[in-house]
Amino acid sequence: MEEHVPFAAVDDDASFHAKFSDLAQHTGTNALRSLVYIHSMERKYEALEKQFQDFVKDVEKYKHQSASFEERVERLLLDKSKAEKAMSALEKEKLGWEADKGEFEKKIVDLEGDLAKAKDEVVCGKMAMVSQFEDGFERIKSQVEFLFPELDLSALDSLKLVQDSELIDEP
């Protein structure tokens, strides 16, 4: 069995005790510093844990918002697709209307030409009728002068009317 020898008996050097005391004190200070540091780290950990939990909550909230936005984007894309199809149909309809417009404009030009010809024919027809009327009036006037040479026919005019026993200008 080992015998217990007092520490002082082993230590021949008194300075060893002072060094040991300093070492013990230094070790105690380091241990205290370590405990303070550990306590500080625990508080930082708790704060970081709280931040992490807040971030997790934010992530969940943003996931929900993201899903909501994705649904909205899908609806908007669907609406866009429908609008593009409607626009395409309207463009085709517009092209059809433009083709019809071109045909109608050509018909209008043709009809305007026909109308101008018809107006010319009417004017020519009126002129021919006036000419025939004047020719007929002059023939009758000459026949009356032949049959009744004593009559004064100088007052006769194709453009005058008899009204209330008087010869008047046509209104």
Q: How far is CA 33 from CA 21, 37, 43, 171, in A?
A: 18, 6, 15, 132
- What tokens does 41 get? 């780290």
Q: How distant is the alpha carbon of residue 27 from its chain centre?
A: 78
pTM of the model: 0.40
Q: What is the pLDDT of residue 31?
A: 75
User: Is residue 122 one of the residues assigned to a domain?
Assistant: yes
Two structure tokens written together for 3: 């015998």
Domain, as residue range, for 112: 13-149
Residue among 112, 8, 160, 20 nearest 169 (CA): 160
Is residue 100 predicted with pLDDT exceeding 80? Answer: yes
The answer as to whether 37 is a domain residue is yes
Domain count, the chain: 1
pLDDT at residue 93 tops 70: yes
Diameter of the chain measured on Cα atoms: 195
Tell me what percent of the residues of the chain surpass a pLDDT of 70: 86
Predicted confidence (pLDDT) per residue in 138-160, tens digit: 999 999 999 999 998 888 888 88
Task: For residue 26, tell me if it sits in a domain.
Answer: yes
Structural domain contains residue 67: yes
